[in-house]
Structure 1
């Protein structure tokens, strides 16, 4: 089921929301069970055949968590290794089996074949969430004895399909608070505002850019030389498409959760305003960055073994983070590029003090840093979007001017790109506007409050999104 669909907005959400608070007045445990069952229904709406996979995965990890917390220290590591191994094997089969077999055939000249495998939606997110749970159990940071609560932790519908990647401590203690089972109308209003803004970002901005990006990258995948206009139009269209698609989803996920009185961790904070790639990864998919840092980069040694080892650990972490997004060498290249960017950024931070140069260059330095960071991110997005390495290189050659100006295979929506750029570069993120994340905007007019003006603005954004929702499209992160 999609957030940007009529059946979700006008049937599923009202019924689930009302049922949660009606049942919560009588019995909070029953209300939690209602929300868990509703979340499983939300997942099954896409394909009921994969509901058993979700339930078996949750049951297995719940059981492994119980075993870990009840075992002595010597056995905990063994049980944790088994649990993580099974999770990775499950993810590897569905997501990487075809990729590995195809590359083995190309390398060894074999003709191995496997049946076509349908990737279960959200498997990367609920697998990473549960790996984090098992590791936290091993560290003594998590413990869950209620099976229904654990199922709710795994399947909670606002985060199930495309994040955020949550820790047990992020969510489950909130369900022990009796006040969340009573509707808090300010939270509902704040949540509705975020939901409306997210729908507008997805349906009006992101989906309007999709055609140009698809046309450009389809031409590159077909082997056609891509001219400069097409290359830059397609690359920028995709750069802002994925920004507003993921930003819209993140706003909707947080907004929906606020309507239930639950606070999810912020996952998106204006990353195109970053002044370096380090800053970019503190703002883009923030919970995935935290997961990769805590469960991969730090266990690899982090920065504790010298600068060379730190850069190698960064590169390994980002390559594996890229591969997490998809089984394709383009994702490996995207991750490797970001690993290289991070190494250069860390070196720059070391170099300036070593030369006795202050880091701050005022607003001109900040502007240059933002522009350079954005350009680096755009180049990396080309690999992320392209069907294969050859297609990515064709687009990059076009961006470099090797094929002349050319003609775009799709109309470049310059006005939409301009509006998207103004929002992404200059305006505060929706999280700040509604007072969830970071300092409030400098301009008072952008500070959310319960007022007729904000109600009219939210209603206008919602109506515009609903009018553009004739053919709802899946969010880009559903593919990962």
Structure 2
């Protein structure tokens, strides 16, 4: 079930909301938590009910390991660290089997000339996100920062439907106190107004902006030759498609959660305004950046073992972050590029050098655009077609053959570009709204316009890009 679908907007969400607060109205708080957990499992099963046993198996396993860690049940015989390592290893094996088995088989066949058959496994939806969420829970429990003895609460923590498919990646310690709060049980009209506005903005971002840019980006990445204009239109279109698609999902997730008085962590902070690669990763997919920093980079030693080790840890972290996004060498290379960018950025700063903010923003944006080409391309050959076109000074116009027929040539396209500029450079982000938002007729009109525009665009329903990762 997609957030940008009629069944979700007009049936699932209203019914889930109404029953949750009705149960709380009659002080059936445990039942309301159970209802949200059941509704979230139903939401996940809507895609493919065959994935539900995998999800439940993962939940039962991690809840059991987390309980052992919290109670120290095996501490006297094994110690908690082996239990933690075992739990993480099983999670990574689970993720690796479904996400990377065919990738590994393909590479083994290429290296050794073997003819091992591919498994052709269907990737369970959201597996990368709910696996990382539970790994973070195990580590936090091992550190004594979290514990959970209520199985239903744990199910809700993992499956809470706004974040389930594409994040944000949650921490147990920041979510469960909210679910247990008395305030979460009462209807809060300010949160409802704020949540509906965020949902409307996210819907508009996805349906009107991102899906329009997709019509320009997709033909370009299928082309065998691109002119300068076509290549830059292709690369920039995907750059904005990805941002508005993923940030649109995040806004919708944050908005839906607010309807239930739950604040999910922010995942974007105007990343294309970044003045350096370091700054970019503080603004882009912030919960993934937090996870990679806290549970991988620091675990590798961070910056505690000298400069050389620090740069190596940065590279390992980003390469593995690239691989997390998908089982392809193009994702690995995208991670390598960002690892190299972070290394150069840190080295530059260690010399005491600074760059003017405007020049820094331009250089950072161009670097990100080029790196996104590898992120989007299905092969290095496809990426090279776009990159060669981006420096194709011999042919700068549009080809009459119309390889990219949907390039911005009319007033409607210019309107989308203007709206894009508004969102990227002017519009407030949710971080600012959390503190300053006040319900008003102005915001009601804005939300109404975005909702209406989004609903009229549902005739071209498409999945969110990060569902693939």
Which TM-score applies when normalising by structure 2?
Answer: 0.95
1:444 aligned partner: none
Match of 2:323 in 1: 323
Per the alignment, residue 50 of structure 2 pairs with: 49
Flag the 1:423–1:476 CA change in 2: closer, same or farther, 3 A: same
Aligned length: 457
Match of 1:177 in 2: 181
The separation in 2 between residues aligned to 1:68 and 1:112, in whole angstroms, is: 39
**Counterpart mapping for 1:7-18 below 5 A:** 7-18=7-18
What's the CA shift string for 1:218-245, capped at 9, x where partnerless? 12xxxx1222122111100000000100
Aligned to 1:379: 370
Task: Give the Cα–Cα distance (whole angstroms) in 2 for the partners of residues 372 and 420 of structure 1.
Answer: 23
1:60-459 residue pairs with structure 2 within 5 A?
Answer: 60-71=61-72, 72=75, 75-219=79-223, 224-352=224-352, 359=354, 365-401=356-392, 404-405=395-396, 407=399, 408-413=403-408, 415=414, 418-419=417-418, 421-432=420-431, 434-435=433-434, 448-459=437-448
Q: Is the 8 A contact 2:266 2:431 kept in 1?
A: no
Aligned CA distance change for structure 1 residues 428 and 457 (closer, same or farther; 3 Å): closer
Against the structure 1 CA distance between its residues 90 and 403, is the aligned structure 2 distance closer, same or farther, given a 3 Å change threshold? farther
Deviation of residue 402 (structure 1)? 6.3
Partner of 2:453: 464
Please tell me whether the aligned partners of residues 209 and 420 of structure 2 are also in contact (alpha carbons under 8 angstroms). no
| More displaced 10-residue stretch of structure 1: 30-39 or 304-313 | 304-313
Aligned-pair CA distance for 1:421: 4.6
Are the aligned partners of 1:275 and 1:369 in contact in 2 as well (CA < 8 Å)? Answer: yes
Q: Work out the CA distance in 2 between the residues paired with 1:109 and 1:239.
A: 37
Task: List alignment gaps of at least 5 residues for structure 2.
Answer: none
Matched-pair contact (CA < 8 Å) for 2:4–2:203: yes
3-state SS in 1 of match to 2:222: helix
Distance in 1, Cα, partners of 2:208 & 2:433: 21
* Contact kept in structure 2, 1:268 and 1:285, CA below 8 Å: yes
Contact 2:216 2:406 in 1 (8 A): yes
Deviation at 1:432, TM superposition (A): 3.9
Distance 1:145 1:432, change over 3 A: closer
- Deviation digits for residues 301-327 of structure 1 (CA, Å, limit 9, x no counterpart): 111111111111101000000000000
Q: How far 1:433 moved relative to its partner?
A: 5.0
- 1:367-391 deviations in whole A, cap 9, x for unaligned? 1111110000000000000011111
* Cα shift at 1:403: 6.4
Task: Spell out structure 1 runs of 4+ moving beyond 6 A.
Answer: none
Distance 1:28 1:81 in 2: 36
- Structure 1 residues 126 and 76, CA gap change in structure 2 (3 angstroms): same
For 1:212 and 1:233, the matched residues in 2 are separated by 7
Instruction: Please report the RMSD computed on the Cα atoms of aligned residues, expressed in angstroms.
Output: 1.5
The answer to whether the 8 A contact 1:68-1:137 is kept is yes
- The CA deviation string for residues 261-296 of structure 1, in whole angstroms up to 9 with x for no partner, is 011111111100111010100010000000000110
TM-score by structure 1 length?
0.93
Does residue 1:27 correspond to 2:28, yes or no? yes
What is the CA–CA distance in structure 1 between the aligned matches of 2:333 and 2:447, rounded to whole Å?
Answer: 40
Instruction: Report SS of the residue matched to 2:221.
Output: helix
Task: Give the deviation of 1:430 after TM superposition.
Answer: 3.0
Residues 237, 417 of structure 1: 8 Å contact kept = no
* 1:35-87 deviation line (CA, Å, top 9, x unaligned): 00000000000001101111111011001111112222752111111111111
Specify the SS of the correspondent of 2:351.
Answer: helix
Q: Which residue of 2 aligns with 1:445?
A: none
8 Å CA contact retained: 1:318, 1:338: yes
Decide whether the 8 Å contact of 1:28 with 1:178 is kept in 2. no
